[in-house]
Amino acid sequence: MRNNFTDVLKQNGVSTGAEYATYTDTVYASVFGMRAKELRRMLGLKAGESIRDNLPPAWLATVVMAESFAVEHANLTGTIDIATVRHCATYAKSGLDSFRQGTSPADNGPQETGG
């Protein structure tokens, strides 16, 4: 799914590492309330270690869902932007929030921070 997401970004003019990082940060901030740097620190990862490869399964599923929604939107409308990615990630987060209901925050990761 990640390749589909980055392919859609590329088709819509995203071309630099910094631009891709901005979109990734948007997903992470919308879902977890943390950007990649903060998430990496929380997970105890060193520079160069993959965040995706170290996310708990429910977290990774939420990121994949957010990216999938964004790809689907792009396929339907022919465009993608930061606001759309934020909206898609927020929608995916609602699924993770539903999963968390009635469980310990320690079991399911970071809680909503209002971001």
* 84, pLDDT greater than 90: yes
Residue in this structure with the two tokens 């997903």, named with its chain if needed: 27
**What radius of gyration, in Å, describes the C-alpha atoms of the chain?**
14
* 112, pLDDT greater than 80: no
* 109, pLDDT greater than 60: no
- For helices 17-32 and 36-43, angle between their N-to-C axes, nearest 10 degrees: 60
> DSSP assignment, residue 53?
G
Taken in order 113, 46, 18, 84, the sign of the CA dihedral is: negative
pLDDT digits (tens, 9 = 90+) for 1-56: 678 999 999 999 999 999 999 999 999 999 999 999 999 999 999 988 999 999 99
Contact 32, 24 (CB under 8 A): no
